[in-house]
Amino acid sequence: EASIYVFVRVARLGTRFVLVLAEDRTESYRLEEVRRDFVANVSHELKTPIGAVSLLAEALEQASNEPDEVKRFAKRLSIEAERLARTTHEIIELSRLQASDVLQEAAVVDIDAVIAQAVDRNRVAAEKHGIALVSGGDAGTEVFGDAGMLVTAVHNLVANAIQYSPDNSRVGIGVSHADGVVEIAVTDQGVGIPEAERERVFERFFRVDSARSRNTGGTGLGLAIVKHVVQNHGGDVRVWSHAGSGSTFTIRLPEAVNTPAVATTLGATT
């Protein structure tokens, strides 16, 4: 159902000739549509938790004489507030990434350090579910980019791997490099992703099973953020999965091979 939008200008040249200028506006129409969808999604995603917070606050007020009820509502209130905070944070992050594909703080980044930080930030969640985070592979690889953004990207993959895995399973984070490409693979033994949905998981606000993800507190923005970070670095992200027996997400980035020319190449491909 692809449409082409053409902007046509007609000008008369003397009495015999007419000049017709056609300009392809498909891309700008598409971007406008994407922007409108984003705004609609954002308002929906924010209104839901805001509505819940208001209702729960009201319920709390009315239950003030029953300590057990107060406890129950307060607990749910804090869960909704946390969800609201996370969604807001991710929307801002994604907007920032979309606003510019130029890396503001680019430097040579040590991938081992990126993985160590991403793993560290997930340690508490992993321990809570008895999940082992096992990292390994080629040491000492480097890329050119923004360390903070790269930590966010790997963090999101590891957080998902934990979130969609059974207790006491294992999440692997592996690094390899070949032919000027660094590959970071995050593998889990979790629920997997049905084939029909595999490509869509990188879309903003997309959740494979919204009921399931909502229970686990998902926003549907984590992988969209990963995709943007990786694209801004001139790389790509892919997924392999068997529904029911786990997934592997792979980030590939141009390796920094101690030449400043890498910076130029990256700029050209984003």
**Nearer Cβ to ligand ADP (155/252):** 155
Counting contacts by CB under 6 A, is residue 145 touching ligand ADP? no
CB closer to ligand ADP, 71 vs 89: 89
Least distance between ligand ADP and beta carbon 201 (Å): 4
Applying CB under 6 A, among 41, 98, 117, 213 the residue interacting with ligand ADP is: 213
220 contributes a contact to ligand ADP by CB under 6 A: yes
Cα dihedral 33, 36, 41, 42, rounded to 10, equals: 140
What is the phi/psi pair of residue 131, to 5°?
A: -95, 130
Stretch that binds ligand ADP, among 1-9, 63-71, 137-145, 155-163 (CB under 6 A): 155-163
Residue from the set 80, 142, 183, 188 that interacts with ligand ADP by CB under 6 A: 188
Name residues contacting ligand ADP, limited to 156-185 (CB under 6 A): 156, 160-161, 164
Interface residue with ligand ADP, options 185, 208, 256, 262 (CB under 6 A): 208
Over its C-alpha atoms, the chain yields an Rg (Å, rounded) of: 23
Distance CA 110, CA 255 (A): 10
Interface residue with ligand ADP among 206, 238, 263, 267 (CB under 6 A) is 206
Contact status: 219 vs ligand ADP (CB under 6 A): yes
Q: Decide if residue 97 touches ligand ADP (CB under 6 A).
A: no
Size of the site for ligand ADP (CB under 6 A): 23
Give the chain as a 3 state SS string. Answer: CCCCCEEEEEEEECCCEEEEEEEECHHHHHHHHHHHHHHHHHHHHHHHHHHHHHHHHHHHHHCCCCHHHHHHHHHHHHHHHHHHHHHHHHHHHHHHHHHCCCCCCCEEEEHHHHHHHHHHHHHHHHHHCCCEEEEEECCCCEEEECHHHHHHHHHHHHHHHHHCCCCCCEEEEEEEEECCEEEEEEECCCCCCCHHHCCHHHCCCCCCCHHHHHHCCCCCCHHHHHHHHHHHCCCEEEEEECCCCCEEEEEEEEECCCCCHHHHHHHHHC
Contact region for ligand ADP (CB under 6 A) — 121-129, 175-183, 202-210, 229-237? 202-210
- Asked if 155 interacts with ligand ADP (CB under 6 A), we say no
Nearest distance in Å: CB 209, ligand ADP: 6
Residue nearest to ligand ADP (CB): 218
241 vs 29: CA distance, rounded Å: 34
Minimum Å distance from CB 235 to ligand ADP?
18
CB of 156 to ligand ADP, least distance (A): 6
Asked if 193 is part of the footprint of ligand ADP (rule: CB under 6 A), the reply reads yes
Q: Residues interacting with ligand ADP, by CB under 6 A?
A: 156, 160-161, 164, 188, 190-193, 201, 206-209, 213, 218-224, 247
